[in-house]
Amino acid sequence: MRMADLKPGWPIIGNDGIRVGTIREVGQNYLLASQARHGHDLYVPASAIAMVRAGSVQLNVESNVIGGLGWEPAPRTGDEPTGTETDLHRHV
């Protein structure tokens, strides 16, 4: 499966068969989805996709746990360390 093969408008379904939302946008590492139940967007990581078939995406998690997975905020970009520590051999 390639992320580029997924299309906006396709349903996203939990592994329990319950619809989670609809694809709004397809990114390189995530899907932006309109969530059916709670009315806010979800950023579904590509690692949560179990299979794609017949114009739908099935996840590898149940629909009832998605609210606790932290998929509501947009993914961070540039997640590099921000410290200026250069002395890697100092003693603590």
What's the chain's average pLDDT? 81
Place of tokens 């998605």: 66
Q: Quick one: 3-63 is in which CATH superfamily? A: PRC-barrel domain (2.30.30.240)
What 3-state DSSP class applies to 41?
Answer: strand
Proportion of the chain above pLDDT 90, given as a percent: 48
Over residues 3-43, the pLDDT tens digits come to: 888 999 999 999 999 999 999 998 888 899 997 666 688 99
User: Which has more pLDDT, 83 or 22?
Assistant: 22
Place of tokens 């609809």: 22
CA nearest to 22, candidates 7, 38, 11, 6: 11
Q: What is the mean pLDDT of residues 41-58?
A: 92
- Output the pLDDT for position 77: 62
Q: Return all residues near 64 (Cβ < 8 A) that are at least 6 apart.
A: 14, 16, 18
Q: Return all residues near 53 (Cβ < 8 A) that are at least 6 apart.
A: none
Q: What is the mean pLDDT of residues 40-59?
A: 92
**Domain range list for the chain:** 3-63
Contact 36, 19 (CB under 8 A): yes
